[in-house]
Amino acid sequence: MQKKQLMGLVLLPCLAVAGNAWGQVFSLGEIKVSASPLVPSAPGSSVLEAEDIRLHDKDSVGTALNMAAGVTLNKVGARNEEMVYVRGFDLRQVPVFMDGIPVYVPYDGYVDLGRFTTFDLSRIEVAKGFSSLTYGANTLGGAINLVSRRPSKAFEGEVGAGVSFSDGGDNYGYRSYANLGSNQGNWYVQGGYSQLNEDYFPLSGDYGKSRGEDGGDRNNSYRKDSKLSLKLGLTPNASDEYAIGLVSQHGVKGTPPYAGNVAGVTPRYWRWPYWDKDSIYALSSTRIGDHTLKLRLYHDSYRNSLFAYDDATYTKQVKGSSFRSRYDDYTNGFSAEGNFLLTPANSLKVAYHFKQDVHRENNEGEPQRHFKDRTQSLAFEDSHALTSRLSLVAGISFDRRESLEAQDYNSATKTVSDFKRRDNHVTNGQIGLFYGVGDTGRLRLTLARKSRFPTLKDRYSYRMGTAIPNEALKTEQADHAEVGYADRLGQNWQYDLALFHSDISDLIQSVTLAPGVCASPPCSQMQNVGKVRAEGLEATLRGQVGNWDLSAAYTYLDRDNRTSSSVFLTDTPHHKVFSSAAWNAGPWSAVASAELASSRYSSSDGKQVAHGFGIANLKGGYRLGNGVLLEAGVRNLFDRLYEYSEGFPEAGRTYFLQANAPL
């Protein structure tokens, strides 16, 4: 397989090239607050374009998001998952969408961003706090929208491949991708396919040994991911568009065992034989006079299996902690959004969302249990230009979640029964003022009250026999405030500054119960006991100096547990910086980037701490006369030993060769 990938790199320069490899942004998949030129599509948001994602070789959505201000990458080491925090809110509270379609897992609200490759995306949009109410329910801290491509030419595309090497020169991984598209005026088609495979990843030379890791090649760190995306669209006139899309993802991975030295933390020997997610959706936009009707219809399925083994041989499953678990979930839903131009200065959006989630699970040898939730949302969002410089955006939404089915299993009697069920409803609202300063400045002041319903896992999970379910959980709520300013500095520089503050109430946290409450103490229960304050500063700067493109994104975040100061909030550093410098001179190019982060807690008792770090990356490239780009680079240039989660070290210094050919 490695020889095939190397042969692909050799053949790429022989391809004749023409046209644009990137295509256009699929605007039908975007969700915007307002069409007013005074109001950004998502005020206070971060937008990561495909060019920047590819420039810095961010192959997964999680690593790409880490470039944005206000967003912090976290690796859930015990599950080998990529997660992010947006201003201190996790992925349950900042759901993930694909072209406006929810793709987060129904059971727990999370999704492993490491399984989502970026090769076929046009951009990633991160809405923070003041996010459009037309996203639907559960956007407590914002929303993340992965926007696909739309072709702009009669034929366009790209192919690419790359290989990765350890510090010792061993080839441990490869990646390949292809994107093809055609726009024929009144219809278009877009397709993409990618593979991202690693046999392992190498550790830093500074790593010693522990009970779960002997250094060198990281134990059980393999991964294999593939993704297929297809889209067919009709554009019968200049204003209307109708599209059908398909995204099919298939993954296999191991979970590296805990490799730290904190007492009481034991390694898990886990493997995931399959992690599969398929989404099919239909989107439309129809102009009716001065008004627009948008419809979304979708079916999303998610299947995975998790095998837990006795030890590092991954051959025996005898202990009580070993099992074979399977999930089989799906979501059906639709939404309708009307955009009504009431006056030349005022527009009103009305959106209705319907979403039904089904979760089915069982361990091998047990009957399958069924869970079903129905979520509905009705939102109103009004945008009004008060003057030529001042705009007002205000909205309100009414959300409801109904628990339709929840089954319990008694392993002693081997019987299935029904859990108690309870419904939730909540009202959200927000208001924002936007003022144009001079020719290019934009001042914003926003207030928002958002919410999140407790997930199926929050309410009904026994957490491997260590917890008692709580169907009576209330809805989490957060109050957000932000003041921000964006402007240009001369012709070549632009910046954005934001101060933000959030108060979260009824935060769902795990609470340790008294010994007499459960049969096998210690045990816990998810309860609405948390009050958290999160506040901070974001600053981004971008510009050009001669042949150099420079950028930097800084985040300061302070999270305070107001309920219990002895319970530490995890996985977010106080300080985070991502910076880069790109140089171009004719066919030659070079890119240097750096990521810096302060320390963060990895456990709520404060015993596990991932120390602060700084890593650097460097690559150089040459573009041939036919447009093929050849690149070589090094990641973690100084071979730093660093972690996002204590006990789970990241890759040491690695090298790569890659090529890209636009078609």
Q: What percent of the chain has pLDDT over 70?
A: 95
Summarize pLDDT for 393-434 with one digit per residue, the tens. 999 999 999 999 999 999 889 999 999 999 999 999 999 999
What's the DSSP call for residue 28?
A: G
Q: What is the pLDDT of residue 7?
A: 36
pTM of this prediction? Answer: 0.95
Q: What is the pLDDT of residue 17?
A: 36
Query: In the predicted model, what is the mean pLDDT of residues 162-175?
Result: 97
Query: In the predicted model, what is the mean pLDDT of residues 95-115?
Result: 95
Residue 12 has pLDDT above 60, yes or no: no
- Calculate the average pLDDT of the chain: 93
Query: In the predicted model, what is the mean pLDDT of residues 578-589?
Result: 98
Q: What is the pLDDT of residue 210?
A: 83
What's the full length of the chain, in residues? 663
In angstroms, the Cα distances linking 659 to 4, 53, 579, 616, 631 are 14, 16, 24, 22, 6
**CATH of span 2-662:** 2.40.170.20
Q: What is the pLDDT of residue 264?
A: 86
Peptide bond into 522 cis (omega under 30): yes
Q: What percent of the chain has pLDDT over 90?
A: 86
Cα separation, 67 vs 50, in Å, equals 13
Main-chain dihedrals φ then ψ at residue 13, nearest 5 degrees: -65, -15
Domain-wise residue ranges, the chain: 2-662
Summarize pLDDT for 340-360 with one digit per residue, the tens. 999 999 999 999 999 999 999
Residue 209 — pLDDT band, cuts 50, 70, 90?
confident
Residue 35 has pLDDT above 60, yes or no: no
Q: What is the pLDDT of residue 34?
A: 65
Residue 39 has pLDDT above 70, yes or no: no
Cα separation, 498 vs 319, in Å, equals 52
Residue 319 has pLDDT above 80, yes or no: yes
Summarize pLDDT for 620-637 with one digit per residue, the tens. 999 999 999 999 999 999
* Structure tokens given for 161: 């491949």
Go through 205-243 and write b for each residue having 16 or more CB atoms within 10 A of its CB, e for each that does not: eebeebebbebbbbbbbbbebbbebbbebebeeeeebbb
Task: Name residue, tokens 């790429």.
Answer: 12
* Structure tokens given for 502: 């959030």
Cβ atoms 199, 220 nearer than 8 A: no
Query: In the predicted model, what is the mean pLDDT of residues 39-44?
Result: 64
Query: 515 or 152: whose pLDDT is higher?
Result: 152
Summarize pLDDT for 236-275 with one digit per residue, the tens. 999 999 999 999 999 999 999 999 989 888 899 999 999 9
Summarize pLDDT for 493-548 with one digit per residue, the tens. 999 999 999 999 999 988 888 877 777 777 889 999 889 999 999 999 999 999 99
Query: 194 or 529: whose pLDDT is higher?
Result: 194
Which amino acid is present at 418? Answer: D
* Nearest in space to 347 (alpha carbons), one of 288, 292, 429, 428: 292
